[in-house]
Amino acid sequence: MSSPRPIFIIGAPRSGTSITTWALGQHPNIQPMPETAWIASLGIGAFLSHGKGSERGHLSHLSNVGFPLEPFMARIGVAVDAIVHDVFAERRQRFYGTEACAPEWKLPEKLADTPMQIQRSGSDPKGRWIDGTPLNTFYLWALSEMFPDACFIHNLRRPDEVATSLEAFDRVGAEPQALDEGLGTWISHTENAWYGERAFGRERAFRLDFRRIGEEPEALFREVCAFLGEDYCPDCLAPLRKKLNSSEVDGQRERNLRQLQDNPTFQRAQALYDIVVAQPATEPEPFALEVLRQRFLDYCRNRSLV
């Protein structure tokens, strides 16, 4: 059985995670999926369960034979991958009917102008999936243990733009955040995502500059497909014709940027942004992976499932 090769988009919310998910989800070999949260939750539960099964030495099931954490987590990842494919099959049937399973099936003409599809041809293998849940940014160590062959795309956007978009989050049906709170959200996500870049290195982590989505989408997605080891597909550009989950705050950005210049939280965020931009990932850094591991362990400390 081949190892799952999922794709996780990490970084701050309002950084193009949804549109990137849908764009890459038009690729014949990549499934787009709604935000999950359950996958990271299961990673936490798997880690805690391994500890529960190993807490009494030879009297506990896993520690009785010294069953290691690494293959335990990878087995959980394989199970998650199977569930994701099962869910995709159900979504495909609900979207297009049972005939979409046939290799000769093609996207109906009436849907041809709808840019965001979960499948465009019955012959699309859809062997991989992409998860754009920003929450995953805080559980990168667990995800990397569950999916040793996963790839990570860090969507990086200016902190003032993210904070401005979060301020108007209610326009897309979510909870808005005040500017200072939004900047804090940006800092926490971006710092962890940057550690992820450094931990996994350029072979497994790709820095996606948010501006390029609008300025040079074809060049960008050609690079992303090459990074993922997939042939470029022009269909990836189809969703970019429409703004997705946009909070429509173009006029507010410059006003907020001027307002934030003397804000200490913004100054911290901008300093971090400048550092991240100046230091793209190269080779994997064991120190960065250890930071992610320790943060995960700190989160799980004193937690129990039963």
The residue whose two tokens read 């429409």 is: 242
Radius of gyration of the CA atoms of the chain, in A: 20
- Per the structure block, which two tokens stand in for 264? 């200490």
Residue ranges of domains in the chain: 7-300
**Cβ density class 232-247: b for 16+ within 10 Å, e for less:** ebebbbbbbeeebbeb
pTM of the model: 0.93
Decide if 157 contacts 12 (C-beta within 8 A). Answer: yes
CA distance 177 to 155: 20
Q: Shortest CA distance to 8 belongs to which of 131, 138, 147?
A: 131
- For residue 223, how many other CB atoms are within 10 A of its CB? 15
The residue whose two tokens read 């050609």 is: 222
Would you say domain 7-300 falls under CATH 3.30.160?
Answer: no
Amino acid residing at 243: K
- pLDDT tens per residue across span 162-198: 999 998 876 766 788 898 999 999 999 999 999 999 9
pLDDT of res. 256 = 75
The residue whose two tokens read 């990842």 is: 77
With 0-12 / 13-18 / 19 or more C-beta atoms within 10 angstroms meaning exposed / middle / buried, residue 52 is: middle
The residue whose two tokens read 């690079």 is: 223
The runs of H, that is alpha helices, within 103-178 are 140-146, 159-167
Q: Shortest CA distance to 104 belongs to which of 125, 123, 126, 124?
A: 123
CA distance 244 to 114: 13
- Per the structure block, which two tokens stand in for 255? 């006003």
pLDDT of res. 1 = 59
- pLDDT tens per residue across span 103-128: 999 999 999 889 999 999 999 999 99
pLDDT of res. 226 = 98
Per-residue pLDDT of the chain (306 residues; tens, 9 = 90+): 579 999 999 999 999 999 999 999 999 999 999 999 999 999 999 999 999 999 999 999 999 999 999 999 999 999 999 999 999 999 999 999 999 999 999 999 999 889 999 999 999 999 999 999 999 999 999 999 999 999 999 999 999 999 999 988 767 667 888 989 999 999 999 999 999 999 999 999 999 999 999 999 999 999 999 999 999 999 999 999 876 555 555 667 677 767 778 889 989 999 999 999 999 989 999 999 999 999 999 999 999 888
pLDDT of res. 4 = 98
- DSSP structural state of residue 4: P
CA distance 273 to 258: 17
